[in-house]
Amino acid sequence: MRVSADAVLRRGAIAWLDWRADHLEVPDLSDAQLMGLNLRGADLHDVNLRRANLGDAKLVAANLMGANLCNAILDRADLVDASLQSIETINCRAVGADLRRANLCGANLMGSNFAHADLRDANLARANAISIDLTSARLRGADLDRISLHRATLCYADLVETNLAQADLSQAILAETELGSAHLYRTNFSQASLTRSHLVNIYAVLANFDRANLTGADLSWANLTKTIFTRAILHNTNLRGANLTGADLSGADLSGANLTDANFSYANLRHAIFTGTNLAEAIFTGAIR
């Protein structure tokens, strides 16, 4: 009697490993109902898990490299230390999932919902995360080198000490997002909304904030050498002590109705460009010009 792949998987990771060793074909687990299963260390590489329900499943240290998880449900799943390189999770839902130290390098996460997920120390380098929802997600210490977060939502997310070098966050929403001490070398924030976000002590050399909205943002003591702020909105933006050597603030909007103007106190403004910028009400106490 032929036993289905999902029936074998329900027997546990060891039975599944033995079954896979005897079957060369890639298992099809699309639409499988696998909620709450203990699949710790399971080998699910290249498996078709489209629309599968893995909510609350235990997938610690599981191998899902190359798996297809499009439209799958992974809410509250335990994926600590899991191998998820090059997975396809288009429109996947992983709300509250635990992905600490997981490897998602090169994953396709486009349009997925990872709100409230724990991605601390995870590897998302070169991942495609266009339009992903990371609201209130925890990413402290994660590697997001060259990730694409175009039009992503990262409101209230914790990105402290993350590596976002050369990442694309154009048109992303980062309201009240924590980015303190993040590495933002050549990061693209063009047309992004960073209202009331915290970027204290960031390293953002050659970053691009063209037309970004930084209303109420805190960039104090940031390294913004040669950073682009052309046509950016800097209402009530705190740039106290920031290094803006060679930065381009051409056409930036520094003041608005009922808002305190941008604060450049003790900032380094050597060779900064302010062409077409209204500096009449900006604060320059102790600034180096």
Q: What three-state secondary structure class fits 9?
A: helix
DSSP per-residue letters across 212-270: -B-TT-B-TT-B-TT-B-TT-B-TT-B-TT-B-TT-B-TT-B---TTSPPPB-TT-B-T
Amino acid at 256: G
152: helix, strand or coil: coil
pTM exceeds 0.85: yes
SS3 of residue 183 by DSSP: strand
| pLDDT tens-digit series, residues 179-203 | 999 999 999 999 999 999 999 999 9
For residues 43 and 259, the model is more confident at 43
Beta-carbon contacts of 91 under 8 Å, excluding residues fewer than 6 positions away, are 70, 71, 110, 111, 112
| DSSP reduced 3-state for 189 | coil
pLDDT digit string, tens, across residues 56-90: 999 999 999 999 999 999 999 999 999 999 999 99
Both tokens assigned to 92 = 């996947």
Give the pLDDT score at 102: 98
* 197-220 average pLDDT score: 97
- Rounded CA-CA distance 209/192 in Å is 8
